[in-house]
Structure 1
Amino acid sequence: MTTAASTIVITGAGAGIGRGTALHFAALGWRVVALDRDAKALKELGAMLPRGQGLTIACDVGREKPVARAFARIAAWAGDGIDCLVNNAGIADPYCGPLEDLALADWQRWIDASLTAAFLCSRAALPLLQRRSGASVVNIASTRALQSEPDTYAYAAAKGGLCALTHAMAVGLGPKVRVNAVLPGWIETGPWQRADRAHAADHRPIDEAQHPAGRVGTVQDIATTIAWLASPDAGFVTGQQIVVDGGMTRKMIYAE
């Protein structure tokens, strides 16, 4: 699908979808740059990547100066540019409590971890992306950009903002760089945490039954979607929101 010289940068790569995506692309022969705030998780991931094929950088991608320093290192390591940026970083817990109790500082944490981070990393990555033919950006949003649960205001706003940023970037950066969003639904990330936090999947039949596909999603479901969007096979796909949720957002659920 790609050449061995292809390079991907993934934020929030220490655990969950980010970790699974990093390992998936490494298995495809890509060079992988993994960014995360969690140095311990990055060290684990680095040990899993083939020697010479990975670069791990501890970085708070919601802050401007650390992002600038990280991408200076990436530019030196990658040399001839990068082929894909995956803006995956964010606060995994969507629940912020009642609106009347939500502090501005807490609201800003959710926004910065996901939306601001995507802006900062995309801006820093753009010169490297523009060096490569067929380069793309994939923003990891959420089905909560389309529907909500109570007390998820900041998370929903951050993910909805990512969807809007996606189509704005697709228009502004095309045709040189394609930009798409993946909107995961219920994805089981427990086995993909760092060793001291990992746990096996434990789903009830009712959890599986909520999905027309008959199961909860896996990290591999998202990683393979990203791989398709980053490939030449998706060369005519840009500005899109790809929902990967087993059909859950299409199912009517009634109170019993």
Structure 2
Amino acid sequence: MKTAIVTGAASGIGRAIALRLVKEGWQVAALDIDEAALATLPHEMALWDFACDLADEASVKSAVEQAGFDRLDLLVNNGGPADPFSGPIETMTLADWDHWIEPHLTGTFLMVRECAPALRAARGAVVNMASTRAIQSQPQTYGYAAAKGGVVALTHALAVGMGPDVRVNAIAPGWIDTVGEPLSARDHLQHPAGRVGTPDDIAEAVLYLAGAGFVTGQVLPVDGGMTRRMIYEE
């Protein structure tokens, strides 16, 4: 049975990834800071959950040790705050900045470091969750954009440094509806694919990268084509 660790697995994209892997026959360790949300996962034989604060080195180390995988086929670094908006740069504190940098970027580093021996033993793969916000922005999204840009750079550095034992890629989601919010026809039709994305779209991309043996150091946009569409406001 293949093994995986998924961070930020209690809800949204991470939850969809964890459950899809279980459905495909994987044994999954689901990590999240939200213990109450973790408890709502459908616990079956192939799915275990562990509390983990990605911004805390000791917590990361403890969670990986509890998962106990000597061989790890896949690490999905998905955890971190989803809301990208910080407010004006003039009022941001260092703690505000760290709110995004520590779990998204430092947490990715810590997870890979702790999982590296098990990943090498299995000649496994890492999938980091970047964002299309690493290459395009809305106002007042400084910490999130910087964290995701860092994830992109860290991805290719890891791919070169850990290869050929471990492949490392990233996914850059665009607009993914994780809460079932009301969406208009315009919301969908602005995407060349004709719709807003779903967490299952990202889970499908993770499965592809988990098995794509000649793909490493890449960032796969899963955004319905929006980073290729030129938009002028009328």
When normalised by structure 2's length, the TM-score is 0.98
Is the Cα–Cα contact under 8 Å of residues 142 and 159 in structure 1 kept in the other structure?
yes
Q: 1:235 maps to which residue? A: 213
What stretches of structure 2 of length at least 5 have no aligned partner? none
Q: Distance in 1 between matches of 2:139 and 2:181?
A: 25
Is the Cα–Cα contact under 8 Å of residues 54 and 80 in structure 2 kept in the other structure?
no
**Which of 28, 48, 59 in structure 2 is aligned with 1:55?**
48
Is the Cα–Cα contact under 8 Å of residues 4 and 74 in structure 2 kept in the other structure?
yes
Residue 132 (structure 1) aligned with residue 122 (structure 2): yes
Q: Distance in 1 between matches of 2:206 and 2:223?
A: 14
| 1:109 Cα deviation after fit | 1.2
Residue 73 (structure 1) aligned with residue 66 (structure 2): yes
Structure 1 stretches of at least 4 aligned residues deviating more than 6 Å after TM superposition: none
> What is the SS of the residue equivalent to 2:76?
strand
**Which of 145, 152, 155 in structure 1 is aligned with 2:134?**
145
- Counterpart residue type for residue 203 of structure 1: L
Is the Cα–Cα contact under 8 Å of residues 26 and 49 in structure 1 kept in the other structure?
no
> What is the SS of the residue equivalent to 2:112?
helix
Q: 2:192 maps to which residue? A: 212
**Which of 132, 149, 157 in structure 2 is aligned with 1:160?**
149
| 1:88 Cα deviation after fit | 0.2
Identical-pair percentage: 53
Q: 1:35 maps to which residue? A: 31
Q: Report Cα offsets for 1:184-219 as digits up to 9, x if no partner.
A: 0000101xxxxxxxxx34111111121000000011
Is the Cα–Cα contact under 8 Å of residues 23 and 49 in structure 1 kept in the other structure?
no
| 1:49 Cα deviation after fit | 3.8
| 1:24 Cα deviation after fit | 0.4
Q: 1:194 maps to which residue? A: none
Q: Distance in 2 between matches of 1:49 and 1:130?
A: 28
- Counterpart residue type for residue 231 of structure 2: I
Q: Report Cα offsets for 1:56-95 as digits up to 9, x if no partner.
A: 00110121001111111122xx3x4110000001110000
Q: Distance in 1 between matches of 2:74 and 2:46?
A: 15
What stretches of structure 1 of length at least 5 have no aligned partner? 191-199
| 1:130 Cα deviation after fit | 1.1
Residue 102 (structure 1) aligned with residue 83 (structure 2): no
RMSD: 0.9
Residue 117 (structure 1) aligned with residue 113 (structure 2): no
Q: Report Cα offsets for 1:82-121 as digits up to 9, x if no partner.
A: 1000000111000001111111111011100100100000
Q: 2:204 maps to which residue? A: 224
Q: Distance in 2 between matches of 1:22 and 1:49?
A: 11
Q: Distance in 2 between matches of 1:215 and 1:19?
A: 21
Q: Distance in 2 between matches of 1:67 and 1:74?
A: 11
When normalised by structure 1's length, the TM-score is 0.90
> What is the SS of the residue equivalent to 2:122?
coil
Aligned residues: 234
Q: 1:11 maps to which residue? A: 7
- Counterpart residue type for residue 196 of structure 2: V
Residue 82 (structure 1) aligned with residue 62 (structure 2): no
Q: Once structures 1 and 2 are overlaid, which stretch shifts more, 142-151 or 54-63?
A: 54-63
| 1:252 Cα deviation after fit | 1.1
**Which of 159, 182, 188 in structure 2 is aligned with 1:170?**
159
- Counterpart residue type for residue 179 of structure 1: V
